Structures are given as C-alpha cells and as structure tokens.
Structure 1
Amino acid sequence: MRFLRDSATRMFADRRDAGRRLAELLRERPWSDPVVLGLARGGIPVADEVAAVLGAPLDVAVARKIGAPGRPEFGLGAVTPDGPPTYDERTLAALGLTTEDLAETCAAERAEARRRIARYQGDRVPEPRRGRDVLVVDDGLATGVTARAALRAVRDERPRRLVFAAPVCAPDAMAALHRMADDVVCVAAPEEFRAVGQWYDDFGQTTDEEVVAVLDAARERR
C-alpha cells in the first residue's frame, strides 16, 4: 500500500499523466510475467502507461455499475460480462432493497458489459491470467464497487498475484479492497476525497473508439 499525501501529488493533468506517475511506483516492484488489465473505459489510458513501463501486455477488464432505482449514478453493486454480480449488502439493507429489486438493472448492465468486451476484444484472444501477476488498473477508486466486481472475476482465473492500482483512491475504499486484492497501490489517498474527477485537470469521457485504439497500439508495441 502506498500513500503520498503532499498536495502537489494529488492532481493529474490527465489520465496519461496519472498513468505515468502510477507506473513509477509500480516499476519498483518485482513482477512475475505480469499482465495489465485496464478497467474500461477510463482505466485504459492509465493502464497503457503502466504496461509500457513494465513491458507487460495490456488487456481490458469490464465491470458495470448497478445503480439505485431513480439514481443510476449511485452504485449499489456491479456486474461483469460473466459470473455473479457483486453488491454492497449494507447499503442495500439501509435502503430497504433486495437483489431481486435490482435484477432488471443488473441484466441490462450485464448486457452492456458483454457488448463492450466484444467490441474491445474483437477476434483477439484475451491474455492468459492463470499463474501470472495481474494488475487491474483504473483511473481512480471511489466506492470500489466496480473494482470489487472486476477483481472477483479475475480471481476466478487463478492469477499468481492480484493487484489493484489507481492514481487516486478514497482511503476507506482502498482499505476495504484489501479483502479482494493481494495488494492495492495508489499514488494518492487524500482524506478529503469526494470524487475521482476532482483530482484531474482533464477528466473527459473515454470513448469505445479510444479504448480500441489504445489496445491496438499496445499490441503493435509488443
């Protein structure tokens, strides 16, 4: 776990800048046949910088947030293209909701996750993860719900070591994520964390086309 609390380290020009600074932390560590998975979509540019520095292949992971009824931005869970959804059970109980109440939303988000992974992978074979060090990289960690779903899916593929890495992380979410990852690496974990975007000068949306272009370029690089 890495914390840098100096205010100068808590702002990034854009995702590429954030990725380079995250890569500097990760390059200090020993890795065994690593593979870097960018959490689509915003994690892909960050992960590309990490993969380049580590000399590792870049691949993609997809997890979709399951939003609260009438408040889709408020994540109660997340789902990957395959496997069971991950829910924040305490928040569900506090809101008086059950997983059955969210079944329709879950199905819609799973369908979108499957669309995205098909679009990003195309006819390419995914990088094997079994027995390797796998780094799941995103542009930030807020509630951690999508990160938990992604890590759960990757863990089922039996990696040697599973690491989550992001430029900026909410401290509480970072601590909780240690139950699912072997390590969590962040450039900054500011106590006054409110949203990932507040730590970026440029936090524009990453498009499907940009994701595909980055993945294609990374494969050409190797």
Structure 2
Amino acid sequence: MAENIDKFKDQLDAAAKLLEILPKKELVDRKTIVVCMSLDSVLLTDFICKGLGLSYEMLFSEQIFAPNNPECSIGIVSETEDIVLDDALIRAFNISYDFVYGEAHRKYEEKILKNVYKYRKGNLLGKLKDRNILLIDEGCETGLTASVCIKTLMGLKVKSIAYATPVIATDVAASLNDLVDEIYMINKIADFIDVDSYYTKKIAVTSESIMSILEESPYYLPLQKQQGEKNNAI
C-alpha cells in the first residue's frame, strides 16, 4: 500500500516546515555552522539560514556512475577526495575498483574543482575543526551523499554533526542515525521513490540563479567578505 504523504509545494515550503522543527536557540547558542550538501539544496539552505541567522558553507561532491549505465550511482566522491561506495552494486555488476577510483579522481578534477572555483572563488572548505555542524539536504534517497559529507566532516575533526532534510527513506534514516548526533526530518518514507516525487513543483534553479543567491546572501561564508566590500562601496 502506498504511503499517504503530503507533498511540499516547493523547496521554500519544505524549508519553512523544516525550520519549524529545528531547535533554533540550541543551534545559535552552539554557534553552529550550516553546511549545504549540494547546489540543488542552496535555495532551501539559504532560506533556513536566514530564519536561524546562521552562516553556511558548501560541501561539494559528485556521484560515480556504473559504466554503460549513467543513471546507476555506485559511489560518490567529495571535495576532500573522500569516497563512499556501494560495494554490493559494484560486485553485482562486476565493476573494477580501478575503474571506480579512476572515475572518482576524474569527477574530482573535472567537476568538483570547477565548482570550488566558481562558487567559492577557488578557496578551500572553511576551517570547521571543533565546530558544531548542521548538514542540510533537500531530500535523502540512498544516503550516499550524506555519508560522504559526514565522512569528510569527520576527517576535518568537527565537534558534532546534525543532519536535517525534509524527506528521507526510512532505512537510510536508520543507518545515518548511527553516524550523526541528531537527525531532523519532516517525512520518513518506507517505500521511497525519489526526492522530486515529494515536491509538487520544485523551483527551477540554474548555475546563474544559484550564483545570484550566494552573491546576495549575507549568510554564505565564502562570499561574506565580498558582501561587506560591496556594501561599503554603496
């Protein structure tokens, strides 16, 4: 039987509902740094950071796909070149690990570095050691992206990690619960379809609109200095 789940109107509706359940005072008191997990999540993350009054960073990652099947994700690599793999799929398709690691490095050089230069002006991920982190994602189907971001943050020796998403698969929520200090979610779904299925009509975002949000936001850490210089010039 299909689950009766109310869809979010769009990312801003999802962000508003997620904001309602987040412990604002606790997050602010702990001087939490919010980390946006994908370009698709920028709209949602910026809205939440405005509501919390907290700054955010971006953490870039790219999926690794099976050869001859560009829709089958077998792993993911982050901007620190941390990798999380779906070993069951890799074995099932008899995929060489040399291929997987080669693809991971290619995605890092061709896509992740490009995003770092474009959206963070070439700067490395901010200093997050000993900071409390709130990871935000617009939806979680497999947990691969969340897992690689958590792995990366652990490698950076952050103090704590909370994870927030409007919609998540039930089994993934259970597995991530062992990796983070807290999970905040609106809908936990057993028979998960895909993230877009739980939004009535998502607001379309382009690289230009994302860049505009980041450049105009007073909450996006990598460009805050640039924002200050712009305001002083007015």
If the length of structure 2 is used for normalisation, what is the TM-score?
Answer: 0.83
* Aligned equivalent of 1:201: 200
Change (3 A) 1:182 1:108: same
Could you tell me how far 1:124 is from its partner in structure 2? 6.2
Could you tell me how far 1:190 is from its partner in structure 2? 1.8
In structure 2, what residue type is equivalent to 1:25? Answer: I
Could you tell me how far 1:23 is from its partner in structure 2? 1.3
SS in 2 for 1:67: strand
Unaligned runs of 5+ in 1: none
CA contact (8 A) 1:171 1:189 kept: yes
Could you tell me how far 1:170 is from its partner in structure 2? 0.8
* Aligned equivalent of 1:48: 46
SS in 1 for 2:218: helix
1:16 matched to 2:12: yes
* Aligned equivalent of 1:71: 69
CA contact (8 A) 2:15 2:45 kept: yes
* Aligned equivalent of 1:218: 217
In structure 1, what residue type is equivalent to 2:199? Answer: Y
Change (3 A) 1:126 1:105: closer
Could you tell me how far 1:52 is from its partner in structure 2? 1.4
Unaligned runs of 5+ in 2: 225-234
CA contact (8 A) 2:55 2:219 kept: no
Q: Which has the higher helix share?
A: 2
Change (3 A) 1:181 1:29: farther
In structure 1, what residue type is equivalent to 2:142? Answer: T
Could you tell me how far 1:114 is from its partner in structure 2? 1.4
Change (3 A) 1:220 1:152: closer
CA contact (8 A) 2:79 2:108 kept: yes
CA contact (8 A) 2:37 2:60 kept: yes
Percent sequence identity over matched residues?
A: 20
CA contact (8 A) 1:34 1:132 kept: yes
Query: d(CA) in 1 for partners of 2:180 and 2:61?
Result: 16
Could you tell me how far 1:6 is from its partner in structure 2? 6.6
Q: Deviations over 1:147-202 (max 9, x none)?
A: 11111111212222111211100111121122332222211012231100000112
CA contact (8 A) 1:38 1:60 kept: yes
Change (3 A) 1:216 1:90: same
Change (3 A) 1:216 1:124: farther
Query: d(CA) in 1 for partners of 2:105 and 2:124?
Result: 25
Aligned length: 216
RMSD of aligned Cα (Å): 2.2
Mean Cα deviation higher: 70-79 or 94-103: 94-103
* Aligned equivalent of 1:98: 96
* Aligned equivalent of 2:57: 59
Mean Cα deviation higher: 201-210 or 32-41: 201-210
In structure 2, what residue type is equivalent to 1:217? Answer: E
* Aligned equivalent of 1:131: 130
Change (3 A) 1:158 1:6: farther
Query: d(CA) in 1 for partners of 2:219 and 2:53?
Result: 13
In structure 1, what residue type is equivalent to 2:26? Answer: P
In structure 2, what residue type is equivalent to 1:52? Answer: K
- 1:111-130 equivalences in 2 (<5 Å): 111=109, 112-122=111-121, 126-130=125-129
In structure 1, what residue type is equivalent to 2:183? Answer: V
In structure 1, what residue type is equivalent to 2:21? Answer: L
Q: Which structure: larger Rg?
A: 2
Query: d(CA) in 2 for partners of 1:28 and 1:204?
Result: 26
Query: d(CA) in 1 for partners of 2:152 and 2:44?
Result: 20
